[in-house]
Amino acid sequence: MLKERVISAVIGIPLIIGVLYLGGIWWEIFFLFIGIIGLFEIYRMMKEKGLKPLWIPGYLLMLICFWQSKMDYGDMIFSLTLVLIITIILSVIAFPRIKFDDAALSFWGAIYIGILLGYALKIGHHFEHSFIIMLLTFVLTWCTDIGGYIFGKRWGKHKMTPVLSPKKTWEGAAGGVFLCVLAAWVFSKLTPYYSWHYGYVLVLGFLASIMAQLGDLFASSIKRYFGVKDAGHIIPGHGGVLDRFDSFMLVLPVVYYFFAFWVLQGK
């Protein structure tokens, strides 16, 4: 398992960095691929639990949420209304084969993935040096994971959420925050593009790490609900897309609003 995880990281990390550096259409294709596979994993778990996902309305809703930054308000409302009408028609025609909980979970999965990954496009569209900002988002996520593993392995004694994730400890959580703050500080020293106060570094590292850990725990709650260990198997040693990008998706809005409201306005 460890060997597979290392190999996947050695191949995957340079690939991600390369796609981010290319930017443009490659950036959009990459995150759209993540969204499509992630929603597929949720719908597959729904099927295994005996539910019936609404594939077409769900994917349409995910795409609307994902591309919201490219749509004006009127087009977005029209598109959402169209998806809602399609869902109502399907629910009426196929009742009782398709039930309310099928539609509710299908929509929830689409909104969860579409809105959060949509912040990746917002970062690409709204900021100069978007490659550096997105790279920072990944680094903060990875450092939270690494810090949590190292500190939890070495000093972890007090269980944080024994029902959701028995191996996670408060010591590991503190280690994730520490390494994430350290990574934000190193970034602030290495990049010449933005002027940072030390308070900014502390806030960004702390909030990003907390959200990364919440994203991981929330994904664990989803898997617990559906009764599976991993959301998928597309990444050897790591599971599915949701298993690897659950934390990252919740760090995205933190980084976006941090640069939108704090750094750029105070520059």
CA neighbours within 13 Å on the CB side: how many for 112? 21
Tell me the per-residue pLDDT of 244-263, one tens digit each, with 9 for 90 and over.
899 999 999 999 999 888 65
At residue 12, does pLDDT exceed 60? yes
CA neighbours within 13 Å on the CB side: how many for 243? 17
The pLDDT value given to residue 163:
81
User: Of 87, 91, 92, which Cα lies nearest the Cα of 64?
Assistant: 87
Distance CA 124, CA 161 (A): 35
pTM for this one? 0.90
The pLDDT value given to residue 256:
94
Among 3-7, 192-196, 205-209, 223-227, the minimum mean pLDDT is found in 3-7
Average pLDDT, the chain: 86
Asked if 157 contacts 150 with a C-beta cutoff of 8 angstroms, the reply is no
CA 157 from chain centre, in angstroms, equals: 28
The pLDDT value given to residue 230:
75
Tell me the per-residue pLDDT of 167-190, one tens digit each, with 9 for 90 and over.
888 989 999 999 999 999 998 888
The pLDDT value given to residue 5:
60
The pLDDT value given to residue 97:
82
Q: 169 — phi, psi (to 5°)?
A: -125, 165
Give me the percent of the chain exceeding a pLDDT of 90: 44
Tell me the per-residue pLDDT of 27-41, one tens digit each, with 9 for 90 and over.
899 999 999 999 999
Q: Which of 64-73, 87-96, 116-125 has the highest mean pLDDT?
A: 116-125
The pLDDT value given to residue 168:
87
The pLDDT value given to residue 249:
96
Asked if 232 contacts 239 with a C-beta cutoff of 8 angstroms, the reply is yes
Asked if 235 contacts 241 with a C-beta cutoff of 8 angstroms, the reply is yes
Among 11-20, 125-134, 189-198, 229-238, the minimum mean pLDDT is found in 229-238
Asked if 59 contacts 36 with a C-beta cutoff of 8 angstroms, the reply is yes
Q: Whose structure tokens read 């349409």?
A: 60
The pLDDT value given to residue 72:
81
At residue 70, does pLDDT exceed 90? no
- Name, in order, each residue with C-beta under 8 angstroms of 163's C-beta and a sequence gap of 6 or more: 224
Q: 22 — phi, psi (to 5°)?
A: -65, -35
Cβ neighbours of 256 (radius 10 Å): 20
The pLDDT value given to residue 95:
78
267: confidence class by pLDDT, cuts 50, 70, 90: low
Tell me the per-residue pLDDT of 142-160, one tens digit each, with 9 for 90 and over.
999 999 989 988 887 888 8
What 3 state SS string does the chain have? Answer: CHHHHHHHHHHHHHHHHHHHHHCHHHHHHHHHHHHHHHHHHHHHHHHHCCCCCCHHHHHHHHHHHHCHHHCCHHHHHHHHHHHHHHHHHHHHHCCCCCCHHHHHHHHHHHHHHHHHHHHHHHHHHHCCCHHHHHHHHHHHHHHHHHHHHHHHHHHCCCEEECCCEEEEEHHHHHHHHHHHHHHHHHHHHHCCCCCCCHHHHHHHHHHHHHHHHHHHHHHHHHHHHHCCCCCCCCECCCECHHHHHHHHHHHHHHHHHHHHHHHCCCC
Per the structure block, which two tokens stand in for 232?
């998928």
Give me the percent of the chain exceeding a pLDDT of 70: 90
